[in-house]
Amino acid sequence: MTRTVKFKVCAMQSGFAVLFLLTFCAMLAMLSAAAFGIPAGIMLSIAGVAVKLFNAQFIVTSLTPELMIFGGLAAACGSAFLGLAAVKAGFVISRLFLRVKRRCDICRGWKPY
């Protein structure tokens, strides 16, 4: 294996490692937002229903009940979308890993599986 091949393989693997770490951080942030946003949005909607239907005066807020209901549902749906985007990013990065591995194996002269 020549120096240029070693350098090319090292550059591809290092680039993938950096991209993997960035994707991991983004996925962690999106999944954390989904884990906290979905229950918070649902609870806000339930509080809005309680204010609207049962005239719950103990829930002190400046929001209207309709805004609480639909805003909470929108927040839950947006958080669920973040969770789905994190899963999709995981699929993309795993597919990229297979491509980088195959290209590195070809550069080394190995037969790809």
> pLDDT tens digits for 4-57?
999 999 999 999 999 999 999 999 999 999 999 999 999 999 999 999 898 888
Chain centre to alpha carbon of residue 76: 14
User: 93 pLDDT band (50/70/90 cuts)?
Assistant: very high
pTM of full prediction above 0.95: no
C-alpha span between 44 and 50 (Å, rounded): 10
User: What per-residue confidence (pLDDT) applies to 58?
Assistant: 83
Mean pLDDT of 53-81: 91
Mean pLDDT of 85-113: 91
Domains of the chain, by residue range, sit at: 3-108
